[in-house]
A and B are shown apart, each in its own frame.
Chain A
Amino acid sequence: MQTRDVLAWRASVAGSGVMGEPAARGRFGEYGGRYVPESLAEACREVDEAFRGAWADPGFRGALTRLLAVHVGRPTPLTPAWRLSGELGVQLYLKREDLTHTGSHKINNALGQALLATRMGRRRLIAETGAGMHGVATATAAALLGLEATVFMGERDMERQSLNVFRMRLLGAEVVPVTSGSRTLKDATSEAMRHWVGTTDDSHYCVGSVVGPDPYPWMVREFQRVIGEEARVQCAAELVTGVPDHVVACVGGGSNAAGTFAGFVDTPARFVGVEAAGGAGASGGRLGVLHGFRSLFLQDDEGQIIEADSIAAGLDYPGVGPEHAHLRDLGRARYVTVTDDEVLGATARLARTEGILPALESAHALAWVIRAAGSGELPAGSTVLLTLSGRGDKDVSTLKELL
């Protein structure tokens, strides 16, 4: 197909093994692993064992599928963005994770892990959150299944997202302010891990993206796989070509992208992960270890982790999930960045053309599509599947200040 010839990407590697289980010791290529304090080694092993068991158990999967249907509202629709497509000259389809209960794809994973926690006999969930979406999702899943929830959130993020803080508390969760470091997601993650060390016996750490020690990157991707699998079937029904030429998603830790890509890994679709210019782990990071996994992280010359800085709190993470680092090495996915200004423009444009107010995180993916369609990087007539990871309601006050 013409589309693919135009693009200066490495030929994609055959799918065998790609986006399957990680290799021995939780590896995706050279990334991943379980770099945790000895005190968490056993807890990680237990999560791994429990997840393997659950994922192989039709009873568990059936229960999760039903919860996702009756509580979360899955399947989410695939929306053809007709008016914007007309303007851009490409055929853009949106996978609508913004329509899930709580408003972002985070709930797919939170509910999966909450169900796993009940299976493991845990009575409490621990979570970190940045924008608050994973915190709300975790608090929601906990309420639904009768678990307790403790959510760690940077003090600065709590100020920026005070309504989400209140939402979590209404849902019965305890929200713990994190005052160390940059007082954002990175520090909240550290604090959640510290807390887990002391509570492994009764608490499950519900990591919010495809990051953390093995089995989290794999497990979270599997819980998010539903996005890609649904989209695959929907594309087959809606697209003339059956499979889109491009699959695009924003990448913070990378869970919505991983879940989406997983559904198309055996197709010729080209994967694009879009990072924030100020939080480009995959595009601008170097090899490191943080929060239990080996991957690409933003670091200074001394090897200290650099704080990410983007308009989208959910992308303010200095690293990227290990599988994305691996997909990048393989050439199976490409990682690009967009600026805050492009993101604001894309947000307003989708609102006006399609009546959809995307989360600023999701608008990153759109900003790239708009740029690439304009530059010819996406040839006219290309079909593009974009995962709209969340709704923009949470961002309205930010937008109000900036637009």
Chain B
Amino acid sequence: MSRGTVSIDVERCKDCDLCVQACPPKVLEMSAEVNEMGYRFPVLHDGCTGCTACQLVCPDYVFQVYRFDVAPDEPHPPGQAAAPDG
């Protein structure tokens, strides 16, 4: 169950891996594909707590962090979370 989620601007990522290391629940993982610059980028799995650790350590400012005040009923699909509206 995710109490939070993130949006990831994959084209800005430079595959430095700092977010993956900093994520307390270890729900970020580097993709297999590469972005336009040839860099891999993070993919979010279920279990995000919205703690903002990834946003704090990202040198390329790719993360926006959201919290669900009430946990959503179904686990959100692995892979990059779509940017929630609003």
Q: Real complex partners, A and B?
A: no
Residues of B within 8 A of A (CB): none
Residues of A within 8 A of B (CB): none
